[in-house]
Structure 1
Amino acid sequence: MKAREFLGIFKVEITVLIDIVAVSAFLSVPGSTLRLALLAPLLVSGSLASFSSALFNNIYDQDIDGRMKRTEYRTKLINWKTRNLYIAVATLMIALSMAISQIYLNTLTSLFIFGGFLSYFVLYTVILKRRTIWNIVIGGIAGSFPALAGWSSLTGSVSSTSLFLAFLVFLWTPSHFWSLASSRVEDYIQADVPMLPVVKGVKASTRWIFTNTVVLVAYTLIPFFVHMDLGRAYFPIAIASDVAFLYLTGRLLVSSDTPSLKRAFHFSNLYLLLILVSVWLVAVGW
């Protein structure tokens, strides 16, 4: 067993992104640098909940993971022999997550973290994934909860800034995941999962990817017209990132080959990272 495969079943890359979202909302709270110690319980509880939902996701999808090249390695680790062990580990993780957030943060933050867990495992994995092409659109709400948790961990409340960041991640998710699904369409066909490119075809999906990106880019411009304390670095970084993302997803309308789809997918990660990190700079007066 490779370390990369073991980390893969916990979907560490998703957890890192979730943590970055939470930190962005945390640092956007005025005076957050005076209470940086609260980042520790926020990140620990959020990461544990993310790891737990990833494990439950893999356990539930055990029957289809072996049919997809991207996920077949998971069946070496999570199978009928080890299933109960991983259920116990996942249950312990979400229990610890709730305990830590309740003890060191507050009830609202605990609810947001648990909401992220439920929306990914129950809403997306169990209810939507195998039933509708809108699975990742509706299920994308899971990525919104970390922004709400990051802000509420300091304030015990919700704000226009945290809601803006939460909906930003929600709008980003379809462009991101549809690019991946389109580049791996054969996997989803084999697994009989009705992702958009499976049902509508890759070419049609590229139109949806570009359209969603246009909506996303338009949304990122809202702080230009409605005051939000996102810092001065947000504006140039958002504009540069928007232009690059529009270009890459726009090119898919002309060439929807696998390399182009993978470029759009990988850049989507960088795109969100750049915008979120730009928000971090508000904490140091940028």
Structure 2
Amino acid sequence: MSKLKNFMKITKLEITMLIDMVAIAAFLAVPGGNKYPFLLLILVISGTLASMSASLFNNIYDIDIDIKMKRTRSRSKIVNENTRNRMIFFASIMIVISLVLSYFLLNFLTMIFIFGGFLSYVVLYTIVLKRRTSWNIVIGGIAGSFPALAGWASLTDSVSITSLFIAFLVFMWTPTHFWNLSVNNIDDYKENNIPMLPARVGIKKTAFWIMINTIILITYSLIPFFISYIHVGYLYFPMAVIMDVILLAYVIRPFMRNYDRKYFRSAFGFSNMYMLILLIVIMIPFI
């Protein structure tokens, strides 16, 4: 059981599950997509392996800082200088299997999107942006968009307005989600010179930018009301309004509670539920 927990920790199961949900939602949004369970299974396996591999490479690259931060210190018991080569081997095997499966059992475009998600997280976010700019999570958030493109392409070998909508919904959501989390880890980021937004501009300004980003996200989430070509299902419309209102309430609370960190933590927790519910209501009518 401990080995399973360790595996789940270093491969960031919660991120992998979200990645899979994004891909599944886009897959099922394709008309008739529910008739191809085998292709959906291959998509999920490929996406899961790629996501776990990316998370593992992220841990490998961040060995030096993870051991110093409270939130990530436990990872160093699993991924460290002594296990680095073994972890590189496992991570490499996973991404290779992912790309082989998606290429031969799905199509080339799907493989490209899966690999694009992998590269954007490992190279763009982890190596290039994370330690250099407070825009790290904004630009690096594109990694979460690729699963939507892969999900649609796995059936159609194309990109659509629906897959682009889902992809950018995740992209717009990421700063609100992660900035709320990073407020609670501001001390760790400051001590290790990681330029996450709260460590650079402080909690009050971060709350302001969370609000701005959330307003943009909410506005964007309502686009299907005006563009009928976006396949999101009838349940999406009432639930999007409800979830938008609740998310906005969570984001407003820190302003009214003297920027207490626990309210940012609550907003972070609800942001997970927000995205999960929207993805579920997108896919339910097509199951």
Task: State the TM-score, normalizing by the size of structure 2.
Answer: 0.97
Structure 1 equivalent of residue 96 of structure 2: 95
Structure 1 equivalent of residue 234 of structure 2: 232
Name the CA distance, whole Å, in 2 between partners of 1:179 and 1:229: 30
Name the CA distance, whole Å, in 1 between partners of 2:192 and 2:140: 19
Is 1:76 matched with 2:77?
yes
Work out whether residues 229 and 282 of structure 1, in 8 Å CA contact, stay in contact via their aligned partners in 2. Answer: no
Structure 1 equivalent of residue 277 of structure 2: 274
User: Which runs of structure 2 are paired with 1:130-279 in the superposition (5 Å)?
Assistant: 130-227=131-228, 228-255=230-257, 256-279=259-282
User: Runs of 5+ in structure 1 lacking a partner?
Assistant: none
Structure 1 equivalent of residue 87 of structure 2: 86
SS in structure 2 at match of 1:68 = coil
TM-superposition CA deviations, 1:182-236 (whole Å, max 9, x none): 1111121122100000000011100100110000000011111111221110001
Deviation at 1:2, TM superposition (A): 6.0
TM-superposition CA deviations, 1:150-181 (whole Å, max 9, x none): 00000000000000000000000000000000
User: Runs of 5+ in structure 2 lacking a partner?
Assistant: none
Name the CA distance, whole Å, in 2 between partners of 1:2 and 1:48: 18
Moved more, 25-34 or 4-13: 4-13
CA RMSD of aligned residues (A): 0.9
Name the CA distance, whole Å, in 2 between partners of 1:52 and 1:6: 11
Deviation at 1:6, TM superposition (A): 3.0
- The amino acid of 1:154's aligned partner reads L
Work out whether residues 65 and 191 of structure 1, in 8 Å CA contact, stay in contact via their aligned partners in 2. Answer: no
Name the CA distance, whole Å, in 2 between partners of 1:39 and 1:252: 41
Deviation at 1:80, TM superposition (A): 1.1
Name the CA distance, whole Å, in 2 between partners of 1:136 and 1:87: 24
Structure 1 equivalent of residue 45 of structure 2: 44
Name the CA distance, whole Å, in 2 between partners of 1:94 and 1:6: 16
Name the CA distance, whole Å, in 2 between partners of 1:6 and 1:149: 25
Structure 1 equivalent of residue 5 of structure 2: 4
Structure 2 equivalent of residue 33 of structure 1: 34
Sort the Cα spacing of 1:6 and 1:37 in 2 relative to 1 into closer, same or farther, 3 A: closer
Work out whether residues 5 and 73 of structure 1, in 8 Å CA contact, stay in contact via their aligned partners in 2. Answer: no
Structure 1 equivalent of residue 286 of structure 2: 283
SS in structure 2 at match of 1:208 = helix
Deviation at 1:254, TM superposition (A): 2.3
- The amino acid of 1:258's aligned partner reads R
Structure 1 equivalent of residue 25 of structure 2: 24
Work out whether residues 52 and 94 of structure 1, in 8 Å CA contact, stay in contact via their aligned partners in 2. Answer: yes
SS in structure 2 at match of 1:16 = helix
Q: Percent identity?
A: 54
Give the 4+ runs in structure 1 shifted more than 4 A.
none
Name the CA distance, whole Å, in 2 between partners of 1:161 and 1:6: 34
- The amino acid of 1:52's aligned partner reads S
Deviation at 1:281, TM superposition (A): 1.6
Sort the Cα spacing of 1:5 and 1:190 in 2 relative to 1 into closer, same or farther, 3 A: farther
Work out whether residues 136 and 174 of structure 1, in 8 Å CA contact, stay in contact via their aligned partners in 2. Answer: yes
Deviation at 1:5, TM superposition (A): 3.4
Name the CA distance, whole Å, in 2 between partners of 1:252 and 1:140: 24
- The amino acid of 1:66's aligned partner reads I
